[in-house]
Amino acid sequence: MDKAPVLPAYAPAHKKPRRHGVWRALLASLLVLTLLRLPFYWDLRPHRTSRVPAHAAATLQKCRALDVLPGPPADFNKRTASDRFVEGTKPTLIRNATVWTGRRKGKEILHGADILLDKGLIKSLGHLHEALIQSYDDLVHVDAKGAWVTPGIVDLHSHLGVYSAPALSGASDGNSLHGPVLPWLRSLDALNTRDDAFKLTVSGGVTTALVLPGSANAIGGQAFPIKLRPTQERSPSSMLLDPPYGINGSEVDPSLPPRWRHLKQACGENPDRVYRGTRMDTMWAFRQAYDKARQIKQSQDAYCSKAQAGEWEGLGEFPEDLQWEALVDVLRGKVKIQNHCYETVDLEDIVRLSNEFKFPIAAFHHAHETYLVPGTLKSAYGHPPAVAIFATNARYKRESYRGSEFAPRILADEGLQVVMKSDHPVLNSRHLLFEAQQAHYYGLPPHLALAAVTTTPAEVMGEAHRIGYLSEGYDADLVIWDTHPLALSAAPTQVWIDGIPQLSSPHTVSKPSSLQFLPDTPNFDEETRAALVYEGLPPLEPEHLTEEVVVFRNVDSVWVRAGGGVRKVLFTKQDGSGMVVVKNGEVVCSGTCDQVVSEYSATARFVDLKGGAITPGLTAYGSPLALQEIQGEISTQDGYVLDPLSGLLPKIVEGEIVQAIDGLQYATRDALIAYRSGVTTAISAPRSTGFLSGLSVAFSTGAGHKLEKGAVVQDVAAVHVSVGHGSAYPSVSTQVAALRRLLKGEVGGEVGAWFGKVAEGKVPLVVDVQNADIMATLIRLKKEVEAGTTHPIKVTFAGATEAHLLAKEIGEAGVGVILAPSRPYPAVWEQRRILPGPPLTQDSSLSLLLAHNVTVGLGVPENWAARNIRFDAAWAALEAGSDKSEAIELTSVNVEKLLGVAVSPALSDLVATSGGDLLDFSSKVVGIISPRRGVVDLL
């Protein structure tokens, strides 16, 4: 036993010792155990260290594990209980569901199916045997009544828990700024379980999210997939899905394949800006880091080939470095690289990096130019990266300027994997499904649109063996929806995570039965081609028709402005005979117009709306539309006003009031896209980071410049201030004190004069305000000022997230409200008390305010989102039980009323849609009729 007696035990396990087999093996194992457990014992006997070091067994184990690729254990699908099963969770039988399983490439739909959940797993799915059902005596029964069921939504790009809601200085943990390369950081270490957004996100059907560090670093740190339900342990690590290594000191079973790890990388502007470098610096930082990792990997490999050959002499310690081990794992193919990367130049940089150091990229995120360079993606090392994108959020920075709503479809046509992601809280991940709905609207096939938020992200995460599908043996994460999941406004009626229902008393509203079907979306082939031909910048200027008379045929419905509201004019026949005749930009006939048409038939232009509609043009408020082209580029913007409360106001503008009309830039891409989406008017106020903003302007989104006929709708709309908390402001009470002086006529100059008009009730005062306590203060101030005047002051609260808390008082005070955004999110403390709406609450802010007779408008805080106002309106109205006329009012006449804009119905714009009305996923805006501008535009 003196001479290297342990060697046989190190031999591969299948080689049995030939002689005295049992005894030798036993003795050998005993010795190994002794050596492993009692290293000191060995150290006391130096004469025994001649060849094999104490750590030999562990080291050889490590060597063998080096190149074992991650994946589920071979018998994973035979598991009978989930590792996440919570004792006491009752088995559940869901009957009569319409199930989108994700299987058969997303094309399988089971009708009238049953789903049995037990031990945190989907036990059975389809038409179940009675015997199986009878074998349970404690089943919870759920009747889905034919409703749609999908796997839980999976978000591949989230900052839940690291950029928490409400945002507080102590809960912004998404990025370290300690260097461009930080692969040793872990989002798990910052995961705030107290983020208000968890519950909200689950209420949108999201069950799993990959929590990524931010993008301020080239390598920002390791990311972790989590399940979003609350756990009994209440700990961050209890939320983890498949922890990749011993996160708490208990090592994972080394005989099993490892779990996937994730690493966040970023290229382009973000890391460049933070480290004041250039793209060249960032790429060098990458290459330097990966070179270091490669050296460690090579020395490990060299070490292991010697160790495995038994050449321990002088070998020393296994070469490793805790700081760099994650990058070494990248080179060993064990890490999914989630790479924030937008532009062609950056995409190619990373593809080149992947080929230089030989590791694949799991996905490019944001990736606004990927659809323009599919070939670059296909030349990446290993496999083409998936592409994780937004549907319509673009142009917020230069890198996203060429972003296209047709990208999902183009990428899918190229055979690339498409994922829709939230980048929560950039988009509220509660509504991640809306991203898939929009992608579908713009041409992504339905099975791929649903896959883009379920199976595809699960595949890209390396978790598709347990999540992302509905199939026997999968985690019991699923959602019952109140409509078809790709229909606008789809909301869960129940969400299960690990077999546990997440909504304790789900609230539902009744919706039209048409929403149970897949929306029949319009054809965007031409637009898709144009996006490619023009490299993401297709011309957006409309074509003015030259014909004096335009006849819209096959019109199913017409809405018009009437009596301060919007009214539907029904056609008696829905048989294609409905017509709208426009002469010189004005409607001269609608309904059955044969007489009129025959008069002009020789010269008229005919447009077939295919069962479409004519509706009033919508009005945008809340974003700096036409005051900036690119949010992140100050050189493309009007800029910010200097706030008098800041003390920085130069003498030359003291007492002056700033007018947005002077800063307008026409034909910005967002304004033109809004125009093409039926938003024909916008009201913008000067941008301010402080208290006093100035005078807003109402303008035509489709006009080419300010001097064009009808380009300006109203020079001055309202007077704007903002009252709120935040470091850019003096105290709220100081802001109110300033407002009091202004309203009581104690301030001179132009500013004083305009507030004088407010006090006389001639011009509305629009206050950006989120917090209910501040609203209460403002209502008191309004009464105080009105006590000394003869007319009530017109006041509108904009933003107004907490307005529902004072719905009654706001109604009584005659204050109007613009909800912006229309779907609330508790982004900061002063707006944390949101009314989330169904399924979490029966009421929404909108329904409650309407119930108190408050005039409500819906707004959008960001330019890119103006295009979606028609969907925001339809969605909010469905939740509030309002009809389509009211939905249009919320985003047209009401907004104008609340902003002091008077548009005569005869001069207001109309929007022609084909295939449905403006509020539908089935329709497309094809024309704008503008009596004000004297044009009919075809789009």
Binding site for ligand NAG (CB under 6 A): 96, 112, 145-146, 237, 243, 248, 250, 811, 852-853
What distance lies between CA 906 and its chain's CA centroid? 39
Structure tokens at 541: 């200027």
Closer residue to ligand NAG in complex, CB, 49/853:
853
Hunting for tokens 């399940």 — which residue is that?
Answer: 227
Per residue in 472-499, is it b (16+ CB within 10 Å) or e — as a string?
ebbbbbbbbbbbbbbbbbbbbbbbbbbb
Closer residue to ligand NAG in complex, CB, 241/618:
241
Q: Where are the beta strands (DSSP E) in 762-835?
A: 765-769, 795-799, 816-819
Structure tokens at 556: 């199913």
Q: What angle is formed at CA 794 by the lines to CA 791 and CA 800, rounded to 5 degrees?
A: 150
Shortest Cβ 330–ligand NAG spacing (Å): 23
Shortest Cβ 467–ligand NAG spacing (Å): 17
Write out 873-935 in H/E/C secondary structure: HHHHHHHHCCCHHHHHHHCCHHHHHHCCCCCCHHHCCEEEEECCCCCCCCCEEEEEEECCCCE
Task: From residue 635, give the alpha-carbon distance in Å to each of 271, 273, 409, 922.
Answer: 21, 16, 33, 38
Classify residue 606 by its DSSP letter: E
Shortest Cβ 145–ligand NAG spacing (Å): 4
Shortest Cβ 149–ligand NAG spacing (Å): 12
- Give the Cα separation of 313 and 821 in Å (integer): 69
What distance lies between CA 296 and its chain's CA centroid? 38
- Give the Cα separation of 614 and 579 in Å (integer): 10
Closer residue to ligand NAG in complex, CB, 856/912:
856
Shortest Cβ 687–ligand NAG spacing (Å): 36
What are residue 100's DSSP bridge partners? 109
Closer residue to ligand NAG in complex, CB, 113/263:
113
Shortest Cβ 62–ligand NAG spacing (Å): 21
Shortest Cβ 70–ligand NAG spacing (Å): 16
Return the SS3 of 335.
Answer: strand
Closer residue to ligand NAG in complex, CB, 188/793:
188
Shortest Cβ 237–ligand NAG spacing (Å): 5
Closer residue to ligand NAG in complex, CB, 237/471:
237
Closer residue to ligand NAG in complex, CB, 811/857:
811
Shortest Cβ 243–ligand NAG spacing (Å): 5
Inter-residue contact 171 to 192 (CB < 8 Å): yes
Q: Which residue is nearest to ligand NAG (CB)?
A: 146
Closer residue to ligand NAG in complex, CB, 110/626:
110
Shortest Cβ 148–ligand NAG spacing (Å): 11
Inter-residue contact 632 to 396 (CB < 8 Å): yes
Q: Going by C-beta distance under 8 Å and a sequence separation of 6 or more, which residues neighbour residue 577?
A: 571, 592
Write out 260-312 in H/E/C secondary structure: CEEEEEECCHHHHHHCCCCHHHHHHHHHHHHHHHHHHHHHHHHHHHHHHCCCC
- Give the Cα separation of 498 and 23 in Å (integer): 47
Shortest Cβ 852–ligand NAG spacing (Å): 5
Q: What angle is formed at CA 105 by the lines to CA 100 and CA 109, rounded to 5 degrees?
A: 25
Structure tokens at 151: 């796997």
What are residue 167's DSSP bridge partners? 828
Closer residue to ligand NAG in complex, CB, 513/603:
513
Closer residue to ligand NAG in complex, CB, 243/445:
243
Shortest Cβ 756–ligand NAG spacing (Å): 31
- Give the Cα separation of 938 and 671 in Å (integer): 16
- Give the Cα separation of 899 and 893 in Å (integer): 10
What DSSP string describes 42-76?
Answer: HHT-GGG-SS--TTHHHHHHHHHHHTPPP---TTG
Closer residue to ligand NAG in complex, CB, 146/934:
146
Shortest Cβ 855–ligand NAG spacing (Å): 11
What DSSP string describes 163-190?
Answer: B-SSB-GGGB-S---S-SB-TT-BGGGG
Closer residue to ligand NAG in complex, CB, 129/145:
145
Closer residue to ligand NAG in complex, CB, 32/133:
133
Closer residue to ligand NAG in complex, CB, 306/852:
852
Shortest Cβ 460–ligand NAG spacing (Å): 23
